Amino acid sequence: MSKEYWGFDTEKEQTGFLAGVVDVLSDELSLSCRGFTTLDADIFFIEDGDISKLEESFKKRLLSYMRCYSYYTADDVNSLRLGLKRHDCDIRQYLRDSIDSSYTSSEKARAAADKFLRDISRYLGEPDSIYLLDDNSDVAFNTNRAVSGAYMGIIFGAYFITFKHHDYALMMIFGTSE
């Protein structure tokens, strides 16, 4: 459901282009998921690479998507607090582990995760950091509730990847659309 053209009508053209790239690459990566599980991804412009501006960019996009795809209100979106926490780790391994632990332990999934990061790096450069959502139960519930209205039925988890020398954050979303 995400990444419809009208979701980017107030965004920079480059952001819309990158969203298309991310959509195609994440669809390919989701093929490595098992059974009824899936993943999605979206890209957010963060001015000057300032992670503190991600929440504002995220809310703006959700409001655009929710014009057509959600049972939730603008108040629901505006009350969101991502509470992002930087997580120091090997980003490639974290993505592999996200897929392996939640979906499948196949070699195909690990290879798909590596290919996804290699391909996305052609457009965004090297991954720099991972930011996890606040794990406070109320914050996580409200965020997952709003995100599920725009991306997929049930969200198991989400996190953001930032890139060196680039003003974008990539959101990885794991869950099910069943």
Q: What is the pLDDT along the chain (178 residues), one digit of tens a residue?
A: 345 665 677 788 888 899 989 999 998 888 877 777 788 899 999 998 899 999 999 988 888 877 776 667 788 788 888 888 999 999 988 888 887 655 555 677 778 889 999 999 999 999 999 999 877 756 666 777 777 777 888 888 889 999 988 899 999 998 887 7
Residue 17 has phi, psi (to 5 degrees) of -60, -50
Task: For residue 116, give the nearest of 8, 23, 9 by alpha carbon.
Answer: 23
CA angle 59, 39, 80 (to 5 degrees): 20
Residue 44's closest CA among 3, 74, 75?
Answer: 3
pTM for the whole structure: 0.88
